[in-house]
Structure 1
């Protein structure tokens, strides 16, 4: 018996993507394979003045076709101050990785999911703290990959810099 079309996984766009979980202190980074089958933790980048440059290097190193950034949406479904920080961060990141696209994905519960997965793996509290940001980035990226596979289109919002919106430039 075959599955109805809406239930059958669809093909993903080919190419590596990176997932990014931006925090005030650390930025978790994950990457997937060219077929988008598996998202894996990659690196933790210190937040601060050098973060955007390091993320741009990672995008270049893995030849990413897209950067999936977690957008903290409140449980009410609204964006708050944390989401505004992420959008401001993406302004700088977008300039640094142009023409690679940034896609914003709802990251609700990603850190809690990552923490639960690390606990299931038997990681201690100290050990979890070292990799939680990477694991959250992997959850964000995996969520995006799963959604694209099921829907047949990439999920989330393509980030446009403020100067792109005003000028209509790419």
Structure 2
């Protein structure tokens, strides 16, 4: 598995959490369809990411918590990476599967988050999101519950373009 900026997950989770001590508070800049663009100040630099919530969650009989899918800038400043943040811990030995218009991508869980298994797949997944119409995510909770989420991709291209202009 390639390096992923696991330490940044709490920063993105702050979108839904109460303001965290000593962490910047993200600010929503604009909404494009079902995607929002957020900015945050990290030291002297400003960064932006895009985020959406699922339109549908199954099974309906379980508490899913707050779930998000986001695309954030890589710490290197070169490109973006997709990330799933779930409202529960994921099963460590499992795999998250994201399907965009019939094309599947594997993500590796760690805690309540997941990243692509190979960093080289980040761009391919983001490109599929830009051209796709819907996206599903299948995961397994730490308790073994199989979950599925449907996300709209309406507005993701415009949101990513706006985030790319963040200074």
Shorter-chain TM-score above 0.5: no
Using structure 1 for the length normalisation, give the TM-score.
0.26
Q: Name the one with the larger strand percent.
A: 2
Query: Considering only CA atoms, is the larger Rg found in Structure 1 or Structure 2?
Result: 1
Higher relative contact order (CA 8 A, sep 6+): 1
Q: Name the one with the larger helix percent.
A: 1
